[in-house]
């Protein structure tokens, strides 16, 4: 069959614009990240997660009244229904919290089934519900997998303080809550990454926002994306000492193994979020005690810069976030769900933007398979040369 059209295939769609967006912007050469035109450093210093979520989703900073109303709605919607909790109680405790989160986010679509994408009231309710309930679901799974009842959210606590309270079953130090809030802000949005693309593809079918978030959560979980923060801690533990950093990394480089928490498709310098997270980690160590893994991390950054700096490989957002979360008492396998709590803001902003000028995603492909083959009768087929294994 003649080739009907010639199109270029770029693995990973590198350099291909999948959407027009005014939500965030990265300059990977200069190490600049802006949300709606505002530098991330300025937001981290002056704003908070919910105000920034509002900025991302509605395109401008809220007035005092708008922010108060938004925060009030979110506080009011933090609780999850008993039946969602009952469903989550049936999840296997050995399952990964990202899988629990993906299933719970999708289940919200069952409980809030009405879909009315042209109605701003519906859009706002979905935004509020997802931002409010995702942290509650992450904390609830953490407690339930240990055999405990989930802790009810507290309306008198801020967004960040309430999550840490639900997780640790005790009130959190104000500095710790403030630093956690900045972490959420830093992870809230990051242009057309894999999970955001996934969210937009799902959104483009005009399905419900819970399915949009569930598909993005599934995409975020992989070790090349959000899952890297979890792997960084495993690697620091494996290295164990500052002296072992160089031999460990040399071995990785020789084996051409990926070093988690380093490298980025867009940034060719140190990720600005990594710089802020590093300073947050230092603030935490100052108040709550040093972490020996920080010394290992510093040495890693030094060696990687020396060995891979010329390739533009520097720490990304996932390198220092794990050290901050460890100090906040967050278990390692909750690092990626915590990333998801924050990124819901960006996914929802992209959902709204996609709906505003929607065209269903339907890319093409470069077909490199067979043509004009024929059905082979069973008795003439052979297993020879095929890699099949029976799974019991
Ligand atoms: N360790 C060692 N070498 C690396 C790394 C790394 N972490 N990252 C890139 N390289 C090398 C790679 O081997 C290749 O070398 P060569 O040209 O000699 O073959 C070159 O750099 C380009 O790599 P690439 O795979 O073409 O780059 P990419 O843009 O497809 O990959 C990445 C980006 C983030 C997937 C990759 O840097 C990586 O695997 N990093 C480790 C995982 C990680 O930390 N992920 C979190 C990313 S940031 C947050 C997020 O997205 O959630």
Judgement on whether residues 174 and 274 belong to the same structural domain of the protein: no
- C-alpha 349 to ligand 1 mean position (Å): 27
* pLDDT for 3 beyond 70: no
Residues of the chain with pLDDT > 90, as a percent, come to: 91
Judgement on whether residues 35 and 151 belong to the same structural domain of the protein: yes
CA 97 to chain centre: 13
Give which of 261, 354, 269, 257 is closest to 310, Cα–Cα: 269
Judgement on whether residues 197 and 268 belong to the same structural domain of the protein: no
* pLDDT for 386 beyond 90: no
Q: What is d(CA 360, CA 206) in angstroms, rounded to the nearest whole number?
A: 8
At 113, is the pLDDT very low, low, confident or very high (cuts 50, 70, 90)? confident
The mean per-residue pLDDT over the stretch 42-67 comes to 98
The CATH number of residue 232's host domain is 1.10.230.10
Structural domain contains residue 297: yes
- C-alpha 30 to ligand 1 mean position (Å): 18
Position in ligand 1 atom list of the atom nearest CA 339: 52
Judgement on whether residues 168 and 312 belong to the same structural domain of the protein: no
Cβ pair 336, 296 in contact under 8 A: no
Q: What is d(CA 144, CA 159) in angstroms, rounded to the nearest whole number?
A: 21
At 5, is the pLDDT very low, low, confident or very high (cuts 50, 70, 90)? low
Number of domains in the chain: 2
The mean per-residue pLDDT over the stretch 118-134 comes to 97
Structural domain contains residue 332: no
The mean per-residue pLDDT over the stretch 186-202 comes to 98
Judgement on whether residues 119 and 251 belong to the same structural domain of the protein: no
Judgement on whether residues 135 and 30 belong to the same structural domain of the protein: yes
Quote the tokens at residue 157: 């606590």
pLDDT of residue 389: 67
**All residues at 6 or more sequence positions from 342 whose CB lies less than 8 Å from its CB, including other chains:** 49, 183, 184, 185, 186, 187, 188
| pLDDT tens figures, 285-326 | 999 999 999 999 999 999 999 999 999 999 999 999 999 999
Nearest CA to ligand 1 atom 16: 311
Nearest CA to ligand 1 atom 25: 265
The mean per-residue pLDDT over the stretch 47-72 comes to 98
- C-alpha 168 to ligand 1 mean position (Å): 34
Best of 223, 254, 258 for a ligand 1 pocket test (most atoms within 8 Å of beta carbon):
258
Residues of the chain with pLDDT > 70, as a percent, come to: 96
pLDDT of residue 6: 65
Report CA dihedral (3, 6, 12, 15) to the nearest 10 degrees. Answer: 180
* pLDDT for 65 beyond 80: yes
Best of 263, 297, 321 for a ligand 1 pocket test (most atoms within 8 Å of beta carbon):
263
Residue 261 Cβ contacting ligand 1 at under 6 Å: yes
* pLDDT for 385 beyond 90: no
From the list 187, 190, 264, 350, the catalytic residue is 264
Quote the tokens at residue 305: 């810069």
pLDDT of residue 58: 97
Q: What is d(CA 340, CA 273) in angstroms, rounded to the nearest whole number?
A: 16
Judgement on whether residues 162 and 100 belong to the same structural domain of the protein: yes
Judgement on whether residues 250 and 170 belong to the same structural domain of the protein: no
**All residues at 6 or more sequence positions from 324 whose CB lies less than 8 Å from its CB, including other chains:** 179, 183, 277, 280, 281, 284
Q: What is d(CA 88, CA 101) in angstroms, rounded to the nearest whole number?
A: 9
For the chain, the residue count is 392
In this structure, the strands spanning 38-39 and 24-27 are unpaired
Residue 218 Cβ contacting ligand 1 at under 6 Å: no
- C-alpha 359 to ligand 1 mean position (Å): 31
Q: Which domain holds residue 126?
A: 20-224+342-356
Structural domain contains residue 372: no
The mean per-residue pLDDT over the stretch 214-242 comes to 94
> What's the pTM?
0.93
- C-alpha 257 to ligand 1 mean position (Å): 10
- C-alpha 273 to ligand 1 mean position (Å): 17
- C-alpha 333 to ligand 1 mean position (Å): 22
Q: Which residue has the tokens 């802790």?
A: 151
Cβ pair 192, 21 in contact under 8 A: yes
Cβ pair 315, 236 in contact under 8 A: no
Residue 260 Cβ contacting ligand 1 at under 6 Å: yes
The mean per-residue pLDDT over the stretch 146-153 comes to 96
Judgement on whether residues 197 and 290 belong to the same structural domain of the protein: no
Position in ligand 1 atom list of the atom nearest CA 225: 52
pLDDT of residue 111: 92
The CATH number of residue 176's host domain is 1.10.580.10
Task: Tell me, yes or no, if 264 is annotated catalytic.
Answer: yes
Mean pLDDT across the chain, nearest whole number? 95
At 382, is the pLDDT very low, low, confident or very high (cuts 50, 70, 90)? confident
CA 110 to chain centre: 23
At 1, is the pLDDT very low, low, confident or very high (cuts 50, 70, 90)? very low
pLDDT of residue 388: 63
H or E stretch at 33:
strand 32-35
HSE toward the beta carbon, residue 173, CA cutoff 13 A: 9
Q: Write the Ramachandran bin of 94: left for phi over 0, alpha for psi from -120 to 50, otherwise beta.
A: alpha
Residue 262 Cβ contacting ligand 1 at under 6 Å: yes
Cβ pair 339, 187 in contact under 8 A: yes
Judgement on whether residues 104 and 163 belong to the same structural domain of the protein: yes
Nearest CA to ligand 1 atom 30: 265
Judgement on whether residues 349 and 277 belong to the same structural domain of the protein: no
Nearest CA to ligand 1 atom 39: 224
Q: Is the C-alpha dihedral spanning 165, 317, 104, 350 positive or negative?
A: positive
Residue 264 Cβ contacting ligand 1 at under 6 Å: yes
Structural domain contains residue 263: yes
From the list 181, 208, 271, 318, the catalytic residue is 318
Judgement on whether residues 64 and 212 belong to the same structural domain of the protein: yes
């Amino acid at each position: 069959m003649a080739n009907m059209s010639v199109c270029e295939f770029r693995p990973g769609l590198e350099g291909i614009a999948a959407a027009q967006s005014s939500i965030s912007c990265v300059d990977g050469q200069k190490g600049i990240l802006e949300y709606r035109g505002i530098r991330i450093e300025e937001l981290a210093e002056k704003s908070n997660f919910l105000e920034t979520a509002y900025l991302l989703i509605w395109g401008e900073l809220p007035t005092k009244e708008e922010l108060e109303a938004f925060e009030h709605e979110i506080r009011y919607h933090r609780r999850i229904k008993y039946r969602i909790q009952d469903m989550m109680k049936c999840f296997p405790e050995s399952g990964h919290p990202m899988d629990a989160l993906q299933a719970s986010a999708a289940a919200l679509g069952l409980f809030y089934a009405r879909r009315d994408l042209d109605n701003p009231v519906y859009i706002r309710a979905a935004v509020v519900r997802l931002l409010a309930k995702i942290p509650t679901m992450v904390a609830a799974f953490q407690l339930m997998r240990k055999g405990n009842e989930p802790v009810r959210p507290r309306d008198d606590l801020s967004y960040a303080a309430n999550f840490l309270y639900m997780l640790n079953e005790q009130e959190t130090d104000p500095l710790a809550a403030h630093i956690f809030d900045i972490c959420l802000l830093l992870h809230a949005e990051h242009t057309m990454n894999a999970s955001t693309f996934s969210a937009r593809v799902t959104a483009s079918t005009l399905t419900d926002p819970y399915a949009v978030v569930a598909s993005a959560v599934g995409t975020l979980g992989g070790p090349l994306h959000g899952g890297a923060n979890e792997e960084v801690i495993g690697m620091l533990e494996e290295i164990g000492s500052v002296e072992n950093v160089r031999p460990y990394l040399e071995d990785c480089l020789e084996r051409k193994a990926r070093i988690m928490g380093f490298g980025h498709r867009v940034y060719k310098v140190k990720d600005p979020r990594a710089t802020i997270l590093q300073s947050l980690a230092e603030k935490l160590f100052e108040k709550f005690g040093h972490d020996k893994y920080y010394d290992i991390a510093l040495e890693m950054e030094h060696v990687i810069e020396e060995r891979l700096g010329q390739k533009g490989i520097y720490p990304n957002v996932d390198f220092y976030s794990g050290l901050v979360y460890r100090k906040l008492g967050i278990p390692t396998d909750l690092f990626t769900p915590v990333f998801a709590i924050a990124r819901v803001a960006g996914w929802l902003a992209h959902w709204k933007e996609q709906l505003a000028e929607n065209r269903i995603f339907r890319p093409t492909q470069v077909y490199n398979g067979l043509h004009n083959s024929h059905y082979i009768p069973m008795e003439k087929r052979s297993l020879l040369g095929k890699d099949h294994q029976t799974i019991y």
